[in-house]
Structure 1
Amino acid sequence: MGEGSSLSVESVLSAIDALYMNPDTSIKEQASKWLCEFQKSVYAWQISDQLLYMNRDLNSCYFGAQTIRKKIQCHFTELPGESHEGLKNSLLQHVRELRENTSLPIANQLCLAVADLFCHMVQWKDGIKDIVSKLSEAEVSCSYLIDILKFIPEEMNSSTLRLGMNRRHALMSQFEGSKQFVLEFLSHRAKSEQMVILAKVYNCLASWWDNTGIMVEHDVPIDPLLNTAFAILRNPYTTPESTFDAASQWVLALLYQCKQLSNSNSELLRWLQENIYSLVSVVQECSNSVASALGSIQQQEQLELYKDRCTCLAHIFSSLARTLRPPLVDQPTSPGSGGLGDLRTMECILVVLEIPPPLGSRELASITFHALHSLADDAIRHRSMSAAVSVNQGPLESSVNNSNASTGVARPVAALIPYFTRVVVALTSYCPSNTSDLESTDELRDFREDVHDLMQDILGLVGAEAIFVELYNYVQKLQMLAMSENAQASAYDVLRESEACLFMLTTVAKRLSPRDPEEHISNLISKLVLPGLTGPCPPPLQEVGCMLYMELAHWAACHPQLRRQIVNQLIEIIEKPAGVESQSLQPGQKLAVGAALSALGSLCAVYRATPTSTPNGDVSIPSPCNSDSLRLALIDEHWQDLVNRVAYNLPRLAWVPIHDATHFFAGIGRGLMCSVGTGGGGVEFDPRASRQAFPMRVAQICSVSLECLSKLMDGNVPIEGSDTLSDPRVWLDYLAALFRTFNCLLRRLGNPSSSQWDTRERNAVDRTTSEMVLSAQNCLAECLQLVREVIWPVVTRVLTHYASRMRPMEHVCRLIRFIVRCFSVHLRDLLPELAEKIVLSYTTGGQHSSFLYLTSVLVDEFGEQLDCRVGLVNVYES
């Protein structure tokens, strides 16, 4: 930019023309840089003002308005104090000259400039009244005046304006003195029939309530402001979107203030409560209007219109529920009672959730989740506190409390349960997968995750059994309906219809009793899920079924007959796409296989040895010498299938989700850990056979990862992306998942006796104690041999082969840490070689911090061994 003497209006106009009209990109860039430098100069004050008075064209006027606002906002101290008055008068004159057809960006910049000047200009006493008096004469400038009044509180809280605390307090004092004047002015303007003016009025009111911090309940003029606002909300058909949204924003601001004040005697809150209840009929009328327009030309237009209106009302209902949360939880009253705990508030939430499609949507339903979360959470906490109090109450207090139940007041918390049960049913209607490509429906997947989180709170209030029965009955109705309409309806057809219900069942399944006394779960699995997933079935349905199996892992352990069918079905889902390229998979098949792997991992992790029944129906008492009386656990019964049909197939499933496969190996590890102890599922059993098989099983399940690592290093295969078969981290993580679960191996092997056996079994235990100890010693010895001869050679090769790659080094160090934690001092003979490899990899490949962590673990495990200290010191010195 040239010297100040060369700056003129003409040069600035030339630069503006070059920026907006010259087709040459390089000239545009030069003009942009020049104008940016100009805006920083002190000459910009006068020239931008001249540009506005010239009013040559839109580009120059916008640049002038933007520049003067930017100067006030960021460089106000440049202007001498004697120039402030002139700037104020000039800006107000510019606003008075605005017309209805003036470009909105120009008008907004000028209004913001006036608001920023008011916030900065200390000499401007009674500024709000001054602005109103000078701009309220003409109808057009009065419209922009409302914008200025809206911007002033917002700009006061803007971090860009850089106001000090003293100035903010002075402004708040001005607000306090002017608020009645502003409210009277806005009340007068609210009588206008122009919807644009009403929208500006309510946006201004919301701004004052949200940003000033001085508005109180008595400042709310019910007539005309509140009455007009609810008249707008009750008439969504002809009200413009901007006006409807502005009115709803002010109501939300009022509800938020009522919530902050927590005043149970608030007349404003009671007035808002009753009038918000009347908006329920508005939502229902919107739904009916959309339904009646189905198939017509106006359908899509009406749908968009009413969707926007219902979104605003849903926010109001949700905010009302959060505001009335304490009385709803502490003192709920019957619908229509008129108290703050009136259960019509729950009806407001439910009317949003129960809107039928196409108006009802996941987006609309999600608006209520925050309120439902907080209500359920508070209700659970209230019930816990009430239970604690009742324990300490005497008979007299208890009888008094019981007598209150007959006075017409709903019993706390229990009164909310029917509403939350309806919430569960309503949520089910939003969870179906309407497409076979569930992978691409991110909206549905995100919504289901939110529903799952919400259900955890609802479960604590309603109870898993009650929700399960409700959903189970719904599935049965679907079955009966399908069979009545079509005698040829298959389990798959019913499963497809009830897929959303099955997903909801996955959210409660983990909390159900595994004993299943009513056999609801058994009937559901045997008559619907297992038959429905057999044969050709869309992968999204398979995924939901696998998720249900995963959550029912403890139930499956108690029902071995059905568990066998479940495991076989899961293995078939995994086996079928083995060797298929990723691009050739069916939509959603990748996620279905991942869910099947996770389900297998969860099922394997529950190692339950269950006693068989005697012919007369009694449960036989297992003896440590009689393991034949126990039903086989999953690990024992399906081991060969888990290894040969699942683990050995993983190299042919290059696209499988890594976290799901890792979960599978972790589940295998937990099951193996349980098998070498002396009890599973509360039943004592003889672990000698499992201990004998343990080393071989570890070798088999590790072999696939070890072989793949060896092939990668033998062929010097380059790493082609993360989480691919060429990435050694994948196979290292599978091994780490196993050994991480083996951290209690020594403890499990060192407890051959139990205090749970009765006197009849004691003699047998004493006779076999030596054999139990011997089995533990043999198991440990064979495991150590496996580590030394099979696992350790591959791990040391990884240390040297990938020494220069940071990520593989992190993961191999992690694996070594788990192996060391597992066997502790029993691996002392490997310490010298391990120390040598660590030093070599650390010094030649890269000084990765993961080696430091690994060394600290070695010191922790071997530091007290005198013969190991020299090697550990050498590692630290290197």
Structure 2
Amino acid sequence: MLIFQIQYAFHELPVNSHQSLRDSLLDHGGKLNAESPPAIVTQLSLALADLALQMAGWKDPIMDLVQRYGSNPQNLPFLLEVLTVLPEEVNSRSLRLGANRRTEVTEEFRKSSPVILQLLDACGESCVGDTKGQMKIFRCLGSWFSLGALSEELIIGSKLVTAPFQALVIAECPASLHEAATDCICSALYSVEDLKSHLRLAEALYNGVKTLPDAYHMSVALDDTDKSINYCRIFTELAESFLEQIVNTPNQGFTGDLGILDLLLTCVGHHLYEVAEITFNVWYRLSEELYQRHEDPAIETFKPYIQRLIVAMCRHCQMDQDHDGIPGESDDFGEFRVRVSELIKDVIFIVGSSNCFAQMYENLKQQTESTSWDVTEATLFIMTAVAKNILPEENEIVPEVVKAILSIPPTAHIAVRYTSIQLFGELCEWIEKHPDYLDPILQFLLAGLQEPKLASAAATSVQSISTTCKGKMRDHFQGLLNIAQAIDTLHLSNEAIIGFLKGTAVILTQLPVEKVGEALTQLCSFQITPLSSLLTKSEDHKLPSHIAHGSKEDPTVWLDRLSAIFRHTTPVITNGQVHPCQTAVQQIWPVLSETCSKFQSDIRIVERCCRCIRFVIRCLGKSSASLLTPLVTQMISLYQVHQHSCFLYLGSILVDEYGQEQSCQPGLLNMLQAFCVPTFKILEEHNGLRNHPDTVDDLFRLCLRFVQRAPVPYLQCQMAKPILCCAIAACPLDHRDANASEKPDFEVRKNLVKGLLNEHGSQLVHALINACLFCLPTFMSADIGEVLYELMIVDRPKIDEIRRDIDNIAQSGNYYCTQEIGRELSNIRNGLDHMRLDNNISSTTKFKGSPGINTYTSGPPDLDRVSNHLSHLKHVMDIENLQGKQENQLRERHHYAVQNLRGIQQ
């Protein structure tokens, strides 16, 4: 409880009581000894450390602690614990320290580092043979390495830099001490990542690591996995810190020693994949470094290492020989194989996909009848990982591999057949260039569809081939339609079925236009018939509780399938031609409408239904006009009862399609007004904006579509003013989508927005500035800057209002205005004073996005400077300590906005 109060409520403690609290904690600490319960020692240490970090009046706490406890051996365990947690707590998220205070504390600790090193040196000499004492020393040393507060000159000349390595080379080193020494070394290696600044310490650590390979091999021989993992962690951390120099200057000096990669590959060769997995991030980073350079000599240098890595991964991916099912992805080993696949895809450019494929094919050819199936499957698995990168024109290796797979007998292990099916799916681009293999491959996959354990993988591969080879799959459409009719008898997962229907819909689009309608009607009927049956069985407004989600009795299953079909049905229609999908839509619309009404209280079903209707409308485009009136009428009716935000989203789709049609604009604006009344009601509730971010997001997306498609009618409607007030109230939201969607609503035409800004512009500017500094994450500052820029384009005097808001920050009394904060405020004011607004706005580069919005790929330099200063000001302000005050301010602003909304509505 005390720790919680110090961490989260320290600002409520009167300043004159800080010293008495400190003295009380110090007195309690003096009563602890080596026999004290560890939990009490840790809790008291944290409390004292957190107090020292927040109590600015406590100068040089390190020296005070050492002088108070350092001379009494009984107090040393507590002293070491406090000195361990102090550096750790500097960057703790639970402790709300501002950036300035963190910098100040770190500098104080750096000045105290000689005392720390002297203390740890003395403790090390007195703790020889004392495992617990040595552990505490290593933990404390590692903590100070992590903070980067140790004097490099002093640590290099100290025995402390070699002590952890000396502990690790002892075969009998206790496991707990082994881990503590490892953690210490890893922290030290991490601290020297900037090699130019820490070259001497880096060399000392490098020399220490070079003493460990023999100890690693001994741990492998003794089957001591924990110690093997510890050594691997050290080798990996060394490689991480030295990697940039290894790539820049391979085999030049100790920093470019390629032997470090040999150490990693030694660990990769460990018989346990858990050890090999520790090294993965190094290979990811190596691939990134080489990819950015595009230098052939550098790639050639590292190619042998990647080849050895892939061979080792192939061995690690072998399944147990007694495994009798398909490869799993949900267990630990399955997840490891997924990560291996991702790793190989990242590094494969270094050795070349074709070379890797050829190497794996050679492995296949060398296998004999005595070769176990798991070796074959692992080889195919590695080939699957690189298959997408094979050049489609390759004519030597891939044809031989395809023929070999097609000759696999049905009696082969099911895992081999499963991975072969996946490989064919990954080879879809190659198959598209080699149509002669299409028919036999499809027959192979269709045979897999008949087996329950292979069906889902086969359906996924059929989808990939159908999507890629759509032009060549037209002749197979009827066969796919027959499969779609019987698909629920094939033991497929819902995900695989949706993928199969996606591929089928893509091929349907390739049919002659006159055949598309009939084919789509058939494909939809397989989903509509069971959905209609469910509607007759279900009670109104709810799904029976015994029906499991994802089962055939769940309406969302059929709605998701229909969504997949219409999402990927995109026939090419010439002007004046009747849309071929209209007939199918007319047949399914009554069922979709009834589904939405019957299950109106079930948000899950309604969202899926709206999603399906969305893709239907996108499929038909303007040809969906016959649905507009009944759809809008139903949406308005249902939204009055159930405020599902998906109706707002669907409304934005309708505005996007029909907003430019003058005959449709009155009806769409009436829809907006009908939506706003219940929406404002729920947003007026306590924390309504924060509790309903999806509603905020979808409401302003709807408004944005009006701005894009019908700006004049929208700004003339009576809801424009309350929507603007709602947007002002929503500025402090830290929900990214909700916050981002409400801001483009302000980027509107100058001559129509003047009236709104004259009435609410000051509130808007104030809300934006405060939201940027006190409420929103830093990455959203650019959005704020963009809105402020648009405001200043429309109304130049807004620059003065922004300047006044910035000036008022320092006098607000909410926090102490440091010199650095003052400099940032001055920079912002200067930027505003020198800002030049170009009258010819149209000449500014626009972002390739929605029409009607001036969104700039790179803002004017002055604006960019001001935005950057806003971001930096937010960073340097010690705002976290005033959380309570800021929450009160947010509540007051929210209350004001809500009252404003109510007044306007009245």
Scaled by the length of structure 2, what TM-score is found?
0.66
Cα deviation digits, residues 417-471 of structure 1 (max 9, x gap): 1111211111122222323454485112221222222222202333211221222
Matched residue, 1:412: 298
Correspondence 1:204 to 2:30: no
Change (3 A) 1:84 1:560: closer
Matched residue, 1:556: 431
Deviation at 1:206, TM superposition (A): 0.9
Residue of 619, 625, 628 corresponding to 1:822:
619
Matched residue, 2:206: 273
Change (3 A) 1:829 1:144: closer
One-letter code of the match for 1:200? K
Deviation at 1:536, TM superposition (A): 6.5
Matched residue, 1:243: 177
Correspondence 1:661 to 2:511: no
Percent identical residues: 27
Matched residue, 1:42: none
One-letter code of the match for 1:340? T
| Alpha-carbon separation, structure 2, partners of 1:649 and 1:215 | 70
Deviation at 1:608, TM superposition (A): 5.8
Change (3 A) 1:709 1:143: closer
| Alpha-carbon separation, structure 2, partners of 1:282 and 1:857 | 65
Correspondence 1:596 to 2:458: yes
Change (3 A) 1:144 1:265: closer
Matched residue, 1:443: 332
Matched residue, 1:12: none
Q: Quick check: 1:513–1:555 contact (8 Å CA) kept in 2? A: yes
Matched residue, 2:230: 312
Matched residue, 2:846: none
Counterpart secondary structure, 1:532: coil
Q: Quick check: 1:74–1:160 contact (8 Å CA) kept in 2? A: no
Cα deviation digits, residues 204-262 of structure 1 (max 9, x gap): 11111223x43243232354222222112222x21112222222222222222211x34
Deviation at 1:141, TM superposition (A): 3.6
Counterpart secondary structure, 1:413: helix
Deviation at 1:376, TM superposition (A): 0.8
Cα deviation digits, residues 804-846 of structure 1 (max 9, x gap): 4333332233222222222323343454444454455545x63
Q: Quick check: 2:521–2:583 contact (8 Å CA) kept in 1? A: no
Q: Quick check: 2:502–2:568 contact (8 Å CA) kept in 1? A: yes
One-letter code of the match for 1:548? L
Deviation at 1:155, TM superposition (A): 4.4
| Alpha-carbon separation, structure 1, partners of 2:55 and 2:141 | 24
Deviation at 1:537, TM superposition (A): 4.1
Change (3 A) 1:184 1:859: closer
Cα deviation digits, residues 637-682 of structure 1 (max 9, x gap): x3333222x31223335x6332222111111122232x24xxxxxx
Superposed counterparts of 1:494-509, under 5 Å? 494=373, 496-509=374-387
Scaled by the length of structure 1, what TM-score is found?
0.68
Specify every segment of 5 or more residues in structure 2 that has no aligned partner in the other structure, as ranges.
Answer: 675-906
Residue of 425, 429, 436 corresponding to 2:311:
425
Deviation at 1:508, TM superposition (A): 0.9
Residue of 713, 731, 735 corresponding to 2:562:
735
Matched residue, 1:217: 152
Matched residue, 1:91: 28
Change (3 A) 1:378 1:440: closer
Q: Quick check: 2:152–2:198 contact (8 Å CA) kept in 1? A: no
Q: Quick check: 2:470–2:506 contact (8 Å CA) kept in 1? A: no
Deviation at 1:133, TM superposition (A): 4.6
One-letter code of the match for 1:152? L
Q: Quick check: 1:543–1:593 contact (8 Å CA) kept in 2? A: no
Higher alpha-carbon deviation: 427-436 or 827-836: 827-836
One-letter code of the match for 2:345? Q
Superposed counterparts of 1:112-151, under 5 Å? 112=46, 115=49, 127-137=61-71, 139-151=73-85
Specify every segment of 5 or more residues in structure 1 that has no aligned partner in the other structure, as ranges.
Answer: 1-35, 40-65, 291-305, 388-410, 578-588, 610-632, 677-689, 751-775
Counterpart secondary structure, 1:412: helix
| Alpha-carbon separation, structure 2, partners of 1:329 and 1:370 | 15
| Alpha-carbon separation, structure 2, partners of 1:852 and 1:221 | 65
Matched residue, 1:707: 529
One-letter code of the match for 1:202? F
Matched residue, 1:746: 572
Superposed counterparts of 1:799-810, under 5 Å? 799-810=596-607
One-letter code of the match for 1:828? A
Give the structure with higher Rg (CA): 1
Residue of 264, 272, 275 corresponding to 1:364:
275
Q: Quick check: 2:7–2:94 contact (8 Å CA) kept in 1? A: no
Q: Quick check: 2:364–2:376 contact (8 Å CA) kept in 1? A: yes
| Alpha-carbon separation, structure 1, partners of 2:556 and 2:56 | 65
Matched residue, 2:469: 607
Superposed counterparts of 1:610-629, under 5 Å? none
Residue of 532, 547, 550 corresponding to 2:408:
532
| Alpha-carbon separation, structure 2, partners of 1:75 and 1:837 | 54
Change (3 A) 1:230 1:700: same
Residue of 322, 326, 330 corresponding to 2:244:
326
Q: Quick check: 2:206–2:254 contact (8 Å CA) kept in 1? A: no
Higher alpha-carbon deviation: 310-319 or 708-717: 708-717
| Alpha-carbon separation, structure 1, partners of 2:451 and 2:87 | 64
| Alpha-carbon separation, structure 2, partners of 1:800 and 1:189 | 76
Q: Quick check: 1:322–1:375 contact (8 Å CA) kept in 2? A: no
One-letter code of the match for 1:379? L
Q: Quick check: 1:72–1:116 contact (8 Å CA) kept in 2? A: no
Of structures 1 and 2, the one scoring higher in RCO (CA 8 A, sep 6+) is: 2
Change (3 A) 1:347 1:222: farther
| Alpha-carbon separation, structure 2, partners of 1:308 and 1:74 | 44
| Alpha-carbon separation, structure 2, partners of 1:124 and 1:825 | 72
Correspondence 1:716 to 2:538: yes
Matched pairs, number: 664
Counterpart secondary structure, 1:656: coil
Cα deviation digits, residues 37-74 of structure 1 (max 9, x gap): xx8xxxxxxxxxxxxxxxxxxxxxxxxxx999999989
Residue of 521, 540, 553 corresponding to 1:726:
553
Q: Quick check: 2:110–2:151 contact (8 Å CA) kept in 1? A: no
Matched residue, 2:345: 456
| Alpha-carbon separation, structure 2, partners of 1:798 and 1:835 | 16
| Alpha-carbon separation, structure 1, partners of 2:66 and 2:661 | 86
Change (3 A) 1:120 1:571: closer
Matched residue, 2:654: 858
Change (3 A) 1:552 1:166: closer
Change (3 A) 1:787 1:149: closer
One-letter code of the match for 2:285? S
| Alpha-carbon separation, structure 2, partners of 1:84 and 1:514 | 73
Matched residue, 1:652: 489
Deviation at 1:319, TM superposition (A): 1.4
Matched residue, 1:643: 481
Higher alpha-carbon deviation: 799-808 or 175-184: 799-808
Q: Quick check: 2:448–2:458 contact (8 Å CA) kept in 1? A: yes
Matched residue, 1:152: 86
Task: State the superposition RMSD in angstroms.
Answer: 3.5
Deviation at 1:125, TM superposition (A): 6.2
